[in-house]
Amino acid sequence: MPKRALLVMAIVSCCSSLFADQQDYPFAIAVERESAGHRIVARNGGPAPVSVSVAIAGSRNISADRPLPLVAVLPAGGGSVELARIRPATPGAPYNFSTRSSWVLGDLNARQSADALYRLPYRDGQAFHIGQAPGGPVSTHTSAESQYAVDIGMPEGTPVVAARDGVVIFTEARQVYGGRSPDLIGKANEVRIQHVDGTIAVYAHLAHRGVFVRPGQIVTAGTPIGLAGTTGYSSGPHLHFVVQTVARTGNGLAMVSLPFRFYVGKPPAIFSPRYGMYAVAQYSAPAPPPVAVAPRQPGRQSVSGQAPPGAAGFR
């Protein structure tokens, strides 16, 4: 009786972005058949590098050409990259496997430059109070991704400008509503700008029809990028500004916020944002750094950053 080679392959590829609002980004992971087995391939067609985590969720009789799980960084617009090849450990015998993967915009290897500075993200001559900020009272900035974020209260429609040179890597402009309902978690209009050191600035809660830039666009500090608003999980008009990078966690990948420094004046006077600062955007003449003062409306803050205890899924 002639021998027959029998291969039984049940392959399930599960890939997800860490953030639901990035699902439209042109990135994908696929498991592709080839003569001797399968390969796991990632494709990045967007303007940002992407960090990806891939693991084997279940398997039988397989051999991989590299250790799994793995974490990789795909360059912006880098096309296809082969992440791993899977073969039957015993040739001719049945094998099967499934994969689990997640990805996030940004470069896992990015580190903020020691000399990185950020101008105030609003037009010259304007002045606003800083609300939630490191070292002050916080109601929502309690997670690693928002620990160093600041909320700057400003009227709806106030022009927002880039705080540092970079390239726009992501925009969300479809959201209309804002409020404290859990249904609005993760539904803020926003712009993400990647800097030369790979860190990413997020400008969130922009107004409906209040995003002026597009992915791939190069901007310089002071370039108008949108209008302040209150879309998403928010109690009132303000700008949520945070600098982030990608970090490894026990579950794979996560975005974490970074301390940063603003500056005003020419030459620059450098300061770290603090609760209650009344900061004037002055960049054509010398200016002192702002100091913390009592807010105009004590006890009232616009909030953003994450949901109240018991709610999940916000950035």
Q: What is the pLDDT of residues 81-135, one digit of tens each?
A: 999 999 999 998 999 999 999 999 999 999 999 999 999 999 999 999 999 999 8
Domain ranges in the chain with CATH number 2.60.40: 11-105
Would you give the DSSP letter of residue 216? T
Per-residue pLDDT averaged across 52-70, rounded? 94
**Beta partners for 211?**
226
What's the CATH code, domain 118-280?
Answer: 2.70.70.10
What confidence tier does 3 reach under pLDDT thresholds 50, 70, 90? very low
- pTM of the predicted protein model: 0.87
Contacts of 291 (CB under 8 A, 6+ apart): 277
Domain ranges in the chain with CATH number 2.70.70.10: 118-280
3-state SS, residue 183: helix
d(CA 231, CA 280): 25
What confidence tier does 23 reach under pLDDT thresholds 50, 70, 90? low
pLDDT above 90 for 260: yes
d(CA 294, CA 59): 60
> Which of 3.90.320, 2.60.40, 1.10.10, 1.10.540 would CATH assign to domain 11-105?
2.60.40
Instruction: Name the nearest CA neighbour of 186 among 304, 36, 41.
Output: 304
The answer to whether 222 touches 119, Cβ cutoff 8 Å, is: yes
> Alpha-carbon dihedral of residues 204, 208, 209, 212, nearest 10 degrees?
-10
